Amino acid sequence: MTEDRSKPPRPEAVPAASRATTLATLAVVLVVLVGVAIALLVQSGDEPPQGGPSTPVTTVPPPPSSGATPTRTEPLPPTPPPPVPSTAPPTCPTPAPVQLTVLTFNIHFGVGRGGLDRVAEEIRTWEPDVVLLQEVDKGRPVSGNVDQAAALGQRTGLNHVYGANSRNTGAGPRGNAILSRFPITTATNTHLPMAGGRELRGLLRAQLDVGGVPISVYATHFDHRSREARKVAARTAVQLMAADPLPKVFGGDLNTGPDGRPVAILRRAGLGDAWAVGKGEGATVPAHRPGSRIDFILHDGWFTPLQAEVLFSEVSDHRPVWTRMQLQPPPAC
């Protein structure tokens, strides 16, 4: 049989496997294109700064140092004020200085011309704030059986305290007294060692209230015969005053001169001599023509002497010593 060549040949069938491969390839290409587009978009939105690739930040930059200089628009912060304590420290004001006058007077038992009335008159004339008295009797017949300290306090209008020495047989005591226009808050009388002396002597202390400031004043009369007794008395007085924390004035009839050993003992203990501001020798005995200085007013460092005088007396065998002093009170706290 003859082949018919007028009909075109029938196409061969495409295998099913090549059609699936084509679709898979197209899908892969599409995914790649989408990925490339996304990458380009990300790069355009986070472009690194000029000059090189970006470096990832891994630490927080430190703040500027405290020494950084501020600009005009950034002034220096004001210095904070110091913290205020919760409780203010206590204040301790210094009290104002006080002036007072002190007199020491051996009254010779008030048996001179004019007697006790004349003694009181002379004291009133001198207008002292504090009076240190020696040879003061109490109930002795030879001086009229009078309590002389009480009588002088009444006649001068001053507060008084008395320090008796030992009572002699058949007579009342002799001793020292202190008169004061300031209140007397306490008083003590200490007998001094005799140490070879003929008579028992005493040291009378009075605590005064000087405008609210407590001070101590001491009146004494050392033995007139025994040098050893006077030295022991001075040492004993120093020991007693060393235990006293108050401002102190010490005075009386010491029966020795300014160059004597008892005065040296007192001066070495820190006491000053009010006669440092006096004129002349300051002689006090005998009263009618003084040639020796045996009556003293001494003081500690809280006092400053401003003026000192030896006064005339018509009633005693001693001339009294008067001084004006300035007290610088210690702080109250």
Between residues 68 and 259, which one has the greater pLDDT? 259
Between residues 69 and 318, which one has the greater pLDDT? 318
Q: Which two tokens stand for residue 82?
A: 């110091």
Assess contact for 302 and 330: CB atoms under 8 A. Answer: yes
Residue range 208-267, pLDDT digits in tens: 999 999 999 999 999 999 999 999 999 999 999 999 999 999 999 999 999 999 999 999
Between residues 255 and 27, which one has the greater pLDDT? 255
Taking residues 181-201, what's their average pLDDT? 95
Closest Cα to residue 322, out of 136, 119, 161, 105? 105
Contacts of 231 (CB under 8 A, 6+ apart): 195, 261, 262, 265
Pairs from 303-306 (Cβ < 8 Å, separation ≥ 24)? 303/247, 303/249, 303/272, 303/327, 303/328, 304/328, 305/272, 305/274, 305/275, 305/276, 305/277, 306/99, 306/277
Between residues 112 and 14, which one has the greater pLDDT? 112
Please give the Cα distance from 24 to 274 (Å, whole number). Answer: 130
| Strand-pair partners of 325 | 100, 305
Of the candidate ranges 4-8, 152-156, 197-201, the one whose mean pLDDT is the lowest: 4-8
Q: What is the pLDDT of residue 35?
A: 65
Question: Which pTM does this prediction carry?
Answer: 0.73
248-253 and 295-299 beta bridge pairing:
antiparallel
Amino acid code (one letter) for 306: L
Residue ranges and CATH numbers for the domains of the chain are: 98-327 (3.60.10.10)
Between residues 92 and 262, which one has the greater pLDDT? 262
Of the candidate ranges 69-73, 190-194, 197-201, the one whose mean pLDDT is the lowest: 69-73
Q: Please, which pLDDT band fits residue 68 given cuts at 50, 70 and 90?
A: very low
